[in-house]
Each structure stands twice: as C-alpha cells, then as structure tokens.
Amino acid sequence: MLLITPAPPLPATSGNRQRTDLLWRALRRLGAVDLIVTLGPPGYSKLDPEQERQLIEERGLKQIVQLPRPADGPSWSLARRLLPRKLANQVASQLLGPGWMYCTTPALVDRARQLIAENDYDLVVARYAHSIARSGFLGLVPTLLDIDDVDTQIYQSRLDSPETPRWKRPLVKRRLRQVQRPFEQVLSQCSHLFVAKDADRQLVAGPAISVLPNIAYASEEAAVEALPPNNASRRILFVGSFGHAPNLNGVDYFIERVWPQIRRRVPDCELELVGGGITTEVLQRWRRKAGVVITGFADNLADAYSRAAFCVAPLLTGAGTNIKVLESLGFGRAVVVTSKAHQGFEATLPHGTGVLVSATAESMCEYCVSLLESTSQRNEIAAAGYEVVKQRYTFDQFATVVANAINALAGQ
C-alpha cells in the first residue's frame, strides 16, 4: 500500500499530522506501507533533514513530491519573467481561485506511473482530495480517500458564520463554486471515502463511504490517561495551531468578545494560548489583553493541561471534527465549546458530558465563569467526558474502520 499525505505523520505535533500517523499505524496492521509526502510552495510546508530521516526509518518514507504552484503552468510564463516568483503565485492564486489546488502536471503523472510499476502498489490511500489530485496518482490504481474536512464545507461554514462580514460573502460564495466541481470530480474517481463525522455522509458522493472519527491521539508507546484535577487553577487553556485560520479567528473572537466579560467577573483568571503560527501583529495585540498568557509551541502538552482548570474551543468556522476537544477530555479537562466546535460530537458528547455548548458570546462567558467558580462541576463534567473518550474514541475502533474498508476493497 501507498499512503500519500501533505501532513507528515511525524512529528505528530498537530491534529492533521496526528490523524495521518493514526492512519499509517492502522494500515501497517494490515501490511507493508510506503509513504509519500506532498509538499506545497516553499514556506507552506517543509521537512528538515532530521524529520526526513525519522520518516524514512520509522514510517517508510519513499519520496517527497514537490507539488506545482499556481503560476507554474505555461500560461503564466510571462508573469514569472516579470514578477518575483512569490508575487506571481499570489496573483495566479487569486485569479484562478482554489480550483488550481486540484490540478496536476504530466510530469507528476509520469512519475506516479513509474512508482506504481516499480513497487506494484495495488492500493493508494490518500489524505485530502487536493493532495491526491495534485500528486498524479488519481485514477491509476484503486484509491481510498480520507477526506477529513469536507472541502466545500470549509467555505460553507464561513457563509454560515455570523462573524463573516457582509462584504466578504460574495467572495466566499465564488470560492465555494470554484471548489465544488473539481472536488466532486476527485471523489468520483475514488473507490472508498472516509469522512470524519456521520453528517458529512450527506455532503459527498462515492461508491462506498465510511465514518472514520477523529480520536484522542496517543503514541504507540503510551495510552490516553487523564491528569489529576487542578482545583486551585484559575487558568483557561486553548491548544491549537494558529496557522489554521479557524483556530486563529476563533481565539480572536474569544479574546475580543468573551474574555473581557469573564475578566470583569473573575479578575484573577488567566487565558493560556498554546500553539505555533501566531503572527507578530496578532501576538502584540493579544499580549495587550490583561490575563492573556501566550506560551506558543510546546513540546509537552501535558504540562499545559496540568496547569489548566478547563479548556475552550471557540471555533466559528471549519469542517470535520475538532480533535482538540477529544484531546482535552483525554487529559481530563472539561471543554467549553461553540456549536461549531461541537459538530460531530452531538450524540456521544451531549451538553454536560465533557463539554458545555455555547451558542453566543454571553453563554460562553457564563459557562466559563461557572467552571472557574465550581471545581466540583468542572471535575464532574471532565470525568464524564473522559469515560466517553476512553470507551468510544479508541485506536482499536479507528483501526477497525480502516481494516473493514480495506477488506471490502480487496473483496471486490
């Protein structure tokens, strides 16, 4: 088998990388797995020599494929001569729209055919529709596609969000139309589809569809274990990459709309932000807010969770399911979530079981204040959520979904 992904499985420092690693480990239970990492434009994604060595030794890295950029096509040769490469790509991206993300080149298709012939791959497993489309492998052998975040829903969620400015909505609608057709064309060439939540089944079409839910990540050597409650803590925690726009915009909303209300009622509370990718401008603005502690990227998340009373997931847009909700519960911390961050967990984690679900800035403030003031309430909610994660979101269950899909394809 061949696994193709733009999100390398190691180091598993973000939700998309963690899902890739879980998928690789599930596939490895079934047989040999080679890995191809697809990289976008320089600065978008990169591997340093140590990461590349680790992937070769531990995850069977076969090749790193540099994907085409929007201005790489022959029709943009004049723009490449007249403009700096970065600017040419920015102009091409704006004019072409997101549809260019699903285009490949004859050279990549030829390389894909050569690799299939040399290694006798009988199945390609891919993370994300745009990755398999651009890699050149689509349509050459049976393909199992892990859609994860449904591409069209990323734009639809922005239209559904009341925080999206009116002037921006026509542009978002245009982007949605530009993505719809190429996304559906990719799905039509796949043999089996994975989606992250049951509601996403209605949004995609394919010969076979399975729900492969996100789970709380743990390495092969460790299990998900709850930390002891921190009854003395007055700290709220958010963990996530700020290079991911829904995280950045959600936290910005929380800091501007919710945090001042909480601080007026609980003056000694703190908000800790853990994760890389914060721009200098945003960093300076958030640091001016009283009580906001910006830790940045952290190697050891257990330390951050141990300091926290509970967590927040204030996402307003996005698709798929929020893996950080499960991670927080796995560490034994309750989570105050928006309705968007709760999507996909309605049946297994109803309001009061691990999470408190808020529809407005005012209700999010109320829930946060309530958990800060009542250790018994937050500990009870956290304990109930941890039990659900331990029983319903396990690696064995994740791997079983993968195995059933592979076995079904093998029997066809």
pLDDT at 43: 44
pTM to 2 decimal places: 0.89
The CA distance from 175 to 138, in Å, is 23
Identify the CA nearest to 137 among candidates 38, 47, 211.
Answer: 38
| Cα-to-chain-centroid distance, residue 118 | 33
**pLDDT score recorded for residue 172:** 87
Token pair in block for residue 339: 């309705």
Can you list the residues of the chain whose pLDDT is less than 70? 41-45, 221-223, 319-321, 412
Q: Within a 10 A sphere around the Cβ of 297, how many other Cβ atoms?
A: 13
Nearest partner of 141 among 161, 157, 119, judged by Cα: 119
What is the predicted pLDDT for the residue at 52?
Answer: 92
- Given this model, what pLDDT does residue 158 score? 85
Euclidean distance between CA atoms 401 and 323, whole angstroms? 18
What pLDDT is recorded for position 410? 83
